[in-house]
Amino acid sequence: MAQSLNITGSGQTNLLDTADKLDSLNNIASMAVAAAISTPATFPDDWYSFIYCAFTGVSPLVAAGIDRNIDVDFKAFGTPVFTASEVWCTPPTGVLTAGNGVARFDLTKNLTGILRSCTLTMTVTQPLGTYIVTITLNNEAATLYPSISLGLDASTGNAACSDFINSPVTRYIDTASTLCTTNNLWLNIDGTTNAGAGYYSDGSSFRYWNGSSWTGACSDCTI
């Protein structure tokens, strides 16, 4: 799993510390360290004819991915207008004005199963022309785990065997595994939330999950 940013500008633009920002954003470990992509203390003074922007915050990515955001710290003589090419990449809300400001783009985690890309565009009309900065975020898909239909009972394994027929639930397990071979049991497809404790059955076998691990091997149903 990885994220990447490609940044381009047209007109009189200055993308502060671009190389450093890209290195930080391409390194998952660094993404959790706010200092790795901190805003500059001051912007240059020639902002009448330039626009400046710097990335000031990326929420850390954990497990298979979470909703996250990117803050764009800008300085522009004109009022920046932000747009995004995809609905999962939401442009800032609220009123943005000329001068210094921060625009936050909210990004939802990628559970599509395929790479997806969003282009963020900042357009500023300055006295000397209209300038554009485009930021392309490429976000790889989180690992999606296979679903399994199971019976669930809090008390006994054989009751779980019956529940498989009468009231099955959907859970998620390791890729290319079964109830008896999986090491994990999740509540959601991207494996970020463990399933609750109880006896689980696939109709022929059952085993007990304590909420974080299995307590033993499979046993046969006897109903």
pLDDT digits (tens, 9 = 90+) for 162-177: 999 999 999 999 999 9
- Say whether 37 sits in a helix, a strand or coil: helix
Query: For 95-134, b where at least 16 C-beta lie within 10 A, e where not — what string?
Result: ebebeebebbbbbbbbbeeeebebebbbbbbbeeeebebb
Structural domains in the chain, CATH included, are 3-139 (2.60.40.10), 147-220 (no CATH)
**pTM for the structure as a whole:** 0.62
pLDDT in tens, 16-47: 444 333 333 333 333 333 333 344 455 555 65
Q: What's the token pair of residue 194?
A: 């463990």
pLDDT higher than 60, residue 103: yes
Give kind and range of the element (H or E) at residue 166: helix 157-166
Which residues make beta-bridge pairs with 51? 13, 76
pLDDT in tens, 42-90: 555 565 666 666 655 554 443 334 566 667 777 777 788 888 888 887 7
What pLDDT score was predicted for residue 130? 77
Q: How far apart are CA 128 and CA 12, in angstroms?
A: 9
